[in-house]
Structure 1
């Protein structure tokens, strides 16, 4: 994860001219803030401040670099706040000992696991865009790691798996199990689709609706949520509409 450091960096307390040498980061790299640091809506001092994060805050590199106002800016996911912001790279340092929960390992990369993971992604998220498909896919090896198993089939009873995958989705499954893409789910192990859950007034037979009703952006009626959603930590995945999927760990 990215950890933020500095004293209100990238904001009113520190001027645009006060730039120091900045590190270079890779997509998905864990970082830490070295001072109290402003997270902004875009890569520059003219963008509004979303929040000032305390030194030591962790994050994950999602975008960048972008040069503006004497700083090199990096787009971060800050999981402890569920926010996506831009921060000045002068005050970020690599968190080599950190990393997202359920950090990727290629120990599960086998032909059978690729085929099985692709079937899960196809069955659960075939109509979604790549961010949702990727996040859904990463929940599988994360569950495998937590349960100490090495086969996708050891955990796939928790997933739909009735559809044969396309070549595109098989390629994504291959990338996930080779760690060729970053885990955008931040270690999520569970998810549900609000638009696929029963809505207020619908028949709820056969569904876990123990989490009660909720309003979800993009839906015109309240949807039910599963009971386990009350006990797990919510994860916000960039680029995934809430009506399609909500992720948890």
Structure 2
């Protein structure tokens, strides 16, 4: 198998991608969850992972993060296989927001967000802790309850705090697994704007979404997964077509351009 990763300093190398997977296969419980997936993640873009339940979106995100080892193929962070980085090196390069937010002790909101700064302890970047934490709380609109116990918050408020922790971690690759699931309309849009802002800073953002309209509005590219394979990858207009979505989701839909932005708007045919 041809390896795609390059060692930094090799003659003629181009700037490394924040993440790339090649011929990826992941098995769970004796059955394949991902099969033959190839996907590059680019700096300065928002890449959404969309597809039906069980398509492999969260598993792909977990493999990119290095939290789940592939059964075949390779996962690269910048110029190295993810398995070649130490856990600390990985934590300084990518931040992950999982679906579940379990905090058993009554830490304050600020203390939870501060945990995102742990990879930078003892480095020059620790001097930025206070500013990064304050900025993350403000960007996620969690600063108003920064001193409350995390366990006292609603589900949506907790989701915003965990997103703030990821933002405070200040990494070049940001991986978000269904960050809008517990959020109201206003804060779903806030997440979209935040992803765009992170990408504008040169970061790579990969976000798992079920809301296809949200994916279309805020993504540079969409990767559509179906039955563990990559069914399509491209701009939202290229990927989110009525025939393709109707087939993949097994639900007839129509797709029309948004009258204001031109982004695809997906409507189920009832």
Q: Same fold (TM over 0.5)?
A: no
Structure number with greater Rg is: 1
**What is the TM-score when the length of structure 2 is the normalising length?**
0.28
TM-score with structure 1 length normalisation?
A: 0.30
